Amino acid sequence: MLWKRTRLAALTVIGAGLLGGVLALVFTPLTRRLARWVTSDDWSALDDAARAAAVGQFRLAVVQVFAAVGAGIALTYTARTFRLTRRGQVTDRFTKALERLSSSEPYVRLGGVLAMEQIVQDAPDQGDHAARVLNAFVREQAPAAATTPVAATQLVRKPDEQVQEALRALTVARSRRGGRRAPVDLAGLHLRKAQLADAYLNGALLEGTTLSEANLRGARLKGADLKGADLRGADLTGAGLKGTDLTGADLSTALGLTVTQVLQVKSLLGCQLPNALAADSSVAARLTTSE
């Protein structure tokens, strides 16, 4: 606060000095001397009328220069004020979205998810914070993956609507203008039949996640950790799997997989693949090695 007051006082003094300088140049004999210095040897050849005109033009030029400087300063402050106002608006929206996410009513929580998604899209500088909140919301609302077949039968058949919307907002392909996004962490969650088509999951942590029958068409899973993930029945048509770790993952009934996709994976050690893919000699060799 003290620094801001000091800066304001300094700017006030500078502004007053500039204004005094303009007045001195325009309304004192100094103007005539400067005009004479600018015209140099031509001054002596001018008559009184021409000299008066030269002084008037010099005064006009001084006023125009300082007016341009003042306009630039005003524009700078206007831009700064706009940024501060916009940041305050985003903070207010963020706070209201958090309040909605903590509601006991499903439709209110859904509204909070949509509000957070809008922040991710509209405010890149706050997008990472909103994405972290959405990730925490999914981890709070989605059930943990079952550890036994009996427990699996008791889990939900598909994610709740607000969880699905949060997943979509969190993983949909989006602009990276706001810099590097934090990795998506869905490790150990039960997300059966989740709709993640065209999802942006580069570098995501999905270890042990149950994504059986999930729609992952075109999903970007580059470098994702899918160790032990349940991907049975998942649609992986066109999914980018370069550098993905599928150690121990179950893709035995996954759809849309090709040999080219599978060979881009970082590790297939212990991975269960559809029979047609597992029978390919180049793929079979990868099933016993990590690279």
**How confident is residue 288, by pLDDT bands cut at 50, 70 and 90?**
confident
**Long-range contact pairs involving 124-127 (C-beta distance under 8 Å, separation at least 24):** 124/175, 124/177, 124/178, 124/179, 125/87, 125/178, 126/90, 126/91, 126/94, 126/178, 127/178, 127/181
pLDDT for residue 175 is more than 50? no
pLDDT (tens digit per residue) in 128-165: 888 889 999 999 988 887 666 656 666 667 888 999 99
* Mean pLDDT on 31-49: 66
pLDDT (tens digit per residue) in 188-242: 999 989 988 888 888 899 999 999 999 999 998 999 999 999 999 999 999 999 9
The closest of 205, 263, 202, 199 to 234, measured between CA atoms, is 199
Residue tagged 């065209």 (tokens): 198
Torsion of CA 251, 253, 256, 261, to 10 degrees: 30
The closest of 53, 52, 118, 123 to 83, measured between CA atoms, is 123
Percent of the chain exceeding pLDDT 70 equals 74
Q: What does the pLDDT read at residue 121?
A: 78
Q: What does the pLDDT read at residue 27?
A: 60
pLDDT for residue 3 is more than 70? no
The radius of gyration computed from the CA coordinates of the chain, to the nearest angstrom, equals 33
pLDDT (tens digit per residue) in 94-117: 889 889 998 889 889 999 999 988
Tokens of 254: 């996954």
**How confident is residue 268, by pLDDT bands cut at 50, 70 and 90?**
very high
Q: What does the pLDDT read at residue 250?
A: 94
Distance CA 240, CA 220 (A): 5
Higher confidence at residue 175 or residue 24? 24
pLDDT for residue 58 is more than 50? yes
Sign of CA dihedral 216, 219, 222, 225: negative
Q: Which amino acid is at 281?
A: S
Give the start-to-end residue ranges of the domains of the chain. Answer: 106-286
Higher confidence at residue 253 or residue 31? 253
Work out the burial of residue 23: count CB atoms within 10 Å of its CB; fewer than 13 is exposed, 13-18 middle, 19 or more buried: exposed
Distance CA 116, CA 99 (A): 11
Lowest mean pLDDT among 32-36, 78-82, 176-180: 176-180
Sign of CA dihedral 46, 51, 57, 61: positive
Is the Cβ–Cβ distance between 142 and 156 less than 8 Å?
A: no
Main-chain dihedrals φ then ψ at residue 244, nearest 5 degrees = -75, 140
The closest of 259, 264, 213, 225 to 241, measured between CA atoms, is 264
Q: How many CA atoms lie within 13 A of 213 on its CB side?
A: 6
| Residue 124 CA: distances (Å) to CA of 98, 116, 175, 256 | 18, 12, 9, 34
The pLDDT mean for the chain works out to 80
Q: What does the pLDDT read at residue 108?
A: 92
Is the Cβ–Cβ distance between 241 and 261 less than 8 Å?
A: yes
Higher confidence at residue 245 or residue 72? 245
pLDDT for residue 170 is more than 50? yes
Instruction: Return the CATH fold of 106-286.
Output: Pectate Lyase C-like (2.160.20)
